């Protein structure tokens, strides 16, 4: 450890967590909330982390093993170590004291196949400092490692990872200056849909921010998920999960990209990711409609989307067809969620992010994230932000962070509730 690093130590029941003191916050990186999901634990439900003693939380957090994102041509790319020992989280806090600040738990997007909870894009330092809140970035298992469905085996383990991380936050965040009774879970795309899925179960939070949740796609039914998994395992050259646990990661990635798997996914015709939450009969028992109806009654929400969602996806241009698809998958279901939540007695606000610095990508999927975290520098060179005017961008950061922080503190973000839609542009 470099002698120039200013450290701060937090004691939790398992031992001492040594983090780094930055100018306005302390960061505690790569804290395990579950055991490494490798070997016999690959594809298995998360097992609470068992480390004891002293933890060096000044090191970067690895991400779940993954293929490159299909959106890197729009939002840029990131570099990070990949490891199956990825069930970790990072905490940014203004101070590890007894103040009991509101907490934001961040769940990244990436079609259940890519991303990471604490890559530079999602550094929580600026949001934590500005809002006097504690920000927690979470990794969860991706692609086959988190979402492969084999009948008779535990399904949706990536979702169980997220629930385990939130449980860790409930148990430990008070040691880091946070209030376990004031948790807002914020997610984008797949991460936002996962929040909706958790709300259909037994959530340990009462406030949620849903960015571009693909609510219009919904869960995958068990029969179809089982079929895709059979094709996937066949492409990987194995017959069951016990054999798949022995495979090198490269074999799983190769199967994910195989022509047979791609053909099976295309034949499904649902415009859905290869891996996603499944109505498996155990973790999720009911059809989608009653699940979602129950879910929207369990949290106050800030829910919205971008104006040109589909423009981020390869081969898509902004036209009537892509706009209609974005309306079906993201925008209309988000408005309905807010409306249903209000009917159920919850507070619910809608937003739309319409800022479009480029003609090609417009206000595409992901374009709101640099402004929420205030990390425009981390997105330097992102094609979706070409032509951005610095003064305008700074103003948007101010508007959005002010609203989001108000919501996280339990107040109105600053406009009337659903059906009103606040437009940021």
pLDDT single digits (tens) 282-304:
999 877 788 888 999 999 999 99
Confidence check: pLDDT of 196 > 80: yes
Confidence check: pLDDT of 144 > 80: yes
Higher pLDDT, 270 or 177: 177
In angstroms, rounded to a whole number, what is the distance separating the alpha carbons of residues 387 and 393? 11
Indicate if 320 belongs to the active site.
no
Confidence check: pLDDT of 2 > 60: no
pLDDT for position 42: 97
pLDDT for position 111: 94
Mean pLDDT, the chain, whole residue set? 95
Indicate if 352 belongs to the active site.
no
pLDDT in tens, 301-349: 999 999 999 999 998 999 999 999 999 999 999 999 999 999 999 999 9
The answer to whether 96 and 57 are in contact (CB under 8 A) is: no
pLDDT for position 226: 95
The answer to whether 131 and 406 are in contact (CB under 8 A) is: no
Query: Model's pTM, two decimal places?
Result: 0.96
In order of 196, 294, 337, the CA distances from 289 in angstroms are 12, 9, 11
- 3-state SS class at 297: coil
Question: If we measure between CA atoms, which residue out of 129, 150, 130 comes closest to residue 281?
Answer: 150
Average pLDDT on 351-376 reads: 97
Confidence check: pLDDT of 1 > 70: no
Confidence check: pLDDT of 117 > 80: yes
Out of 189, 212, 229, 273, the active site residue is 189
pLDDT for position 80: 87
pLDDT for position 79: 85
Lowest model confidence (mean pLDDT) among 56-70, 153-167, 297-311: 56-70
Structural domains of the chain, with CATH:
27-54+61-218+286-424 (3.40.50.1820)
Indicate if 322 belongs to the active site.
no
Out of 30, 211, 309, 352, the active site residue is 309
């Amino acid at each position: 450890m470099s002698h120039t690093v200013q450290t701060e130590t937090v004691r939790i029941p398992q031992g001492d967590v040594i983090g780094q003191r930055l100018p306005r916050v302390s960061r505690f990186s790569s804290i395990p909330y579950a055991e490494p999901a490798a070997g016999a634990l690959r594809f298995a439900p998360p097992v609470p982390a068992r480390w004891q003693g002293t933890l060096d939380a000044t090191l970067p957090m690895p991400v779940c093993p993954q293929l490159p994102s299909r959106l890197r041509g729009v939002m840029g790319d990131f570099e990070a170590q990949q490891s199956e020992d990825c069930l970790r989280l990072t905490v940014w806090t203004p101070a590890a004291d007894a103040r009991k600040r509101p907490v934001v738990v961040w769940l990244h997007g990436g079609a259940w196949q890519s991303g990471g909870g604490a890559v530079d894009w999602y550094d929580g330092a600026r949001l934590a400092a500005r809002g006097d809140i504690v920000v927690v970035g979470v990794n969860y298992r991706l692609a086959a490692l988190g979402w492969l469905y084999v009948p008779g085996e535990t399904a949706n383990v990536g979702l169980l990872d997220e629930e385990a991380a939130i449980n860790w936050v409930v148990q430990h965040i008070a040691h880091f200056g946070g209030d376990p009774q004031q948790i807002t879970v914020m997610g984008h795309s797949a991460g936002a849909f996962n929040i909706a899925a958790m709300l259909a179960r037994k959530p340990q939070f009462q406030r949620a921010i849903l960015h571009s949740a693909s609510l219009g796609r919904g869960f995958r039914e068990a029969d179809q998920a089982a079929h895709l998994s059979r094709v996937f395992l066949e492409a990987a050259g194995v017959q069951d999960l016990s054999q798949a646990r022995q495979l090198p990661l490269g074999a799983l990635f190769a199967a994910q990209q195989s022509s047979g798997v791609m053909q099976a996914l295309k034949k499904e015709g649902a415009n859905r990711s290869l891996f996603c939450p499944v109505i498996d009969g155990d973790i999720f028992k009911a059809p989608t409609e009653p699940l979602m109806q129950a879910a929207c009654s369990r949290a106050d929400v800030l829910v919205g989307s971008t104006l040109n969602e589909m423009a981020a996806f390869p081969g898509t241009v902004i036209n009537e067809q892509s706009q209609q698809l974005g309306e079906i998958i993201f925008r209309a279901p988000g408005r309905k969620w807010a409306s249903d939540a209000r009917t159920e007695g919850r507070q619910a606000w809608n937003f739309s992010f319409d800022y479009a610095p480029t003609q090609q990508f417009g206000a595409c999927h992901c374009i709101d994230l640099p402004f929420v975290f205030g990390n425009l520098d981390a997105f330097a060179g992102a094609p979706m932000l070409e032509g951005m005017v610095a003064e305008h961008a700074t103003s948007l950061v101010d508007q959005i962070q002010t609203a989001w922080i108000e919501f996280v503190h339990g107040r109105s973000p600053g406009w009337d509730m659903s059906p009103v839609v606040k437009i940021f542009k």
